[in-house]
Amino acid sequence: MPLSRILGSITVTALTDGEGPFFQPRAEAFPGATAAHWHEADRREPGSVTADGGWWLPFRAFALRVGDGPVTLVDAGIGPAGSPAASWAPVPGRLPAELAAAGIDPADVHTVVLTHLHSDHIGWAVTGTPGRPYFRNAAYLLQRSELAAVESINPGLPAGLIAPLRATGQLRLVDGDTALTPGVRLLPTPGHTPGHQSVLLDTGDERVLFTGDLLVHVVQLVDPDLAYAHEADPATARHSRTTLLDQLAGTPTLLATPHLTHPFTPHPLPTPPSSTPRSPRPPPRRPDADQHRPAPKRPAPLIAPRPTDRASPRVIAPRPR
């Protein structure tokens, strides 16, 4: 059953598309992590480690909804059988069932924010042969810089994902810090991929940061300087992660994460009791590899500007219906 949090008039729902073991030993995925890092990470999230020391990885999307109004979806999961993530992630995903359990029809989704174009975040965006947008009433929001980078690195991806969205007029490219709706902003957080973006929900009393892959394991909250082996630019990813987490630390914030054991993690992390029990999962079969006091007034953008970032937010106009 999907887990939801209510912030004022907004319901935020975590939708688990799947879960399974990561294809790579976690020591290789986070080569800078020490035994002390792992000890602290495992105290905080014992469910993320398997009995044989592997990394148990959930795959999530998140839904934001005001009352019974239109839904904003953050990311699109691993997808059905045969999706781009099929070579390494536990497809078929169960996002359609999770949406139904949350009382959401795909037609209710009017916005899909793609944090980035890795295969475990785009799986249900376009489905079938020929490919068609799964969320037929939605505008799909993507940073322009992400598309430009992917078109140069992986030319085949636009053909399978971007072309169908362009054909139906559903692709919306954004540039940097962008106001989506009142209280919801798209924040550029490059590094994991060149055009990675996160989503900040600020009700004035509470905040939720939808991280995307700004961080992928609790060890990166234990030490945000730790690089992840699959970051396109580790130094830029570190800057995005440490800067944004530092700026959010003054106001309690929930981190809505695709891959941590708990979908909603408080930031800053509370001090865990020393007697936190370990309850590791049994070792699964290894799949094949592929890849929350009021908020103070603050300057925008939230994350420190970079030479290539926009200085002021852009506003997305409602999509014609």
Side-chain half-sphere exposure of 88, counting CA atoms within 13 A: 13
**CA separation for the pair 124, 108 (Å, rounded):** 15
Quick one: pLDDT at residue 178? Answer: 98
Instruction: Locate 84 and state its tokens.
Output: 């781009």
pLDDT digits (tens, 9 = 90+) for 99-117: 999 999 999 999 999 999 9
Whole-model pTM: value is 0.86
Q: How many CB atoms lie within 10 A of CB 232?
A: 17
**CA separation for the pair 24, 306 (Å, rounded):** 33
Q: How many CB atoms lie within 10 A of CB 194?
A: 21
Give CA torsion, residues 170, 121, 143, 313, to 10 deg: 100
Quick one: pLDDT at residue 321? Answer: 39
**CA separation for the pair 198, 186 (Å, rounded):** 6
Q: How many CB atoms lie within 10 A of CB 48?
A: 24
Quick one: pLDDT at residue 145? Answer: 97
As a CATH number, domain 3-267+287-308 is 3.60.15.10
Quick one: pLDDT at residue 251? Answer: 86
CB contact at 8 A, 85 and 125: no
Long-range contact list for 242-247, CB < 8 A, 24+ apart?
243/303, 243/304, 244/187, 244/189, 244/198, 244/209, 244/214, 244/302, 244/303, 245/221, 247/298, 247/302, 247/303, 247/304
Quick one: pLDDT at residue 242? Answer: 98
**CA separation for the pair 121, 19 (Å, rounded):** 13
All structural domains of the chain with their residue ranges:
3-267+287-308
In the chain, which residues have pLDDT < 70? 1, 271-321
In what helix (H) or strand (E) does residue 201 lie, and over which residues does it extend? strand 197-202
Quick one: pLDDT at residue 293? Answer: 39
Give CA torsion, residues 161, 136, 123, 58, to 10 deg: 150
Instruction: Locate 137 and state its tokens.
Output: 């009433």
**CA separation for the pair 135, 234 (Å, rounded):** 33
CB contact at 8 A, 260 and 273: no
